[in-house]
Structure 1
Amino acid sequence: MNDQTKFDPLTCAYVGYGLRQAIANGMETEYDALCGEDGLMQRLVDCAPLLDAEWDRRYGEDGVVPHGAHFVFSYEIAEPFGERFAKMLVEDADATPDELIKQLFREADPEFVEPELPPGFDLAAIKAELTEYTVKHVLTDPDCLKRICQNGFTALDRRPDDELVALYRAVFDKEPPMTPSTADAELQAAA
């Protein structure tokens, strides 16, 4: 198990409690598109690392607000996630958990403030270059693939902006691309 798939077993338990609550509240019990109740539970459990990673990013030892949560993760994040995402999956087997996770954390801690990046990073270009670099090196460097397998890799779209900028700096040892400022665009248009 790599770092990206580690999770607290209690997260799974409370996600399961949420599923039980959804069923008790009359959620449809035909899960053919999800390969039955086992498939539904597996989809929910697969999200435990995402829940725990977001908790760590916000309130973990090296988080934005270390140990600063004023709510109980199990009751206000994991359990409601299990109930609400189960209902979403029954409606749409291809549903993704990302927005629900953000919403639950916003509801639990509406005063949490994301760290701000200096304006102007071209995040699309950063993601494109990191993706190109990874694909190129995975195909040509067996050690790169080994490091990814051992250390895990969180999808670029699931990383916060500040983490993307830090990753870019670490990989390329240079400043990330910036978006042109409005003044630069006006100068170029005038020329």
Structure 2
Amino acid sequence: MPENWIVQLNSQLEKMEDPATEMELWEKRSIYRIPSQVTDANKEAYKPQVVSIGPYHHGEHHLRPMEAHKQRALLHFLKRSGKRVQFYVDALAKVLQDLKDAYDQLDIGWQEDEEAFLQLMLRDGCFILEIMQATLIGCDYAPNDPIFSAHGKLHIIPLLISDMLLLENQVPLLVLQKLFTGENENFKVG
């Protein structure tokens, strides 16, 4: 009779004896999947309509058009900061495991492809900062820009913000901290 499950259970029990181990497992998590029991009632209420932020909804067909705008935002961010992209990639790479650990049930593809995950964090993080910059301060985009113009601020950015508030459609705060403090070296967060 196979007793492998007994060995596994005993191993789990030993790990559980230390409350710090269990606490450590959960303290890094900050972005969770919503249980299907909740989303089944109204699936559309929990899905982004215009933009994907983070890995959970990345690549969904109806959200792909916004990817080009996120790439443009990344380029504007880099140009304004005056720093090379490698500067920001290195800053995020130093906390890569913390960024992955922030996601509950992160897909194995994102777990294994560090380059794609870092690229996603950089692009989406810069996009969020550009939305904040455009909304609060103003920006250096063309007056007829579809997202960052006065028209975009009135009609598109509210939809983007609505999507960015969804629980499954976020990046860890650590991404924004690393990018923001990298852009503004004299500014300290928290």
Q: TM-score, normalised by structure 1?
A: 0.27
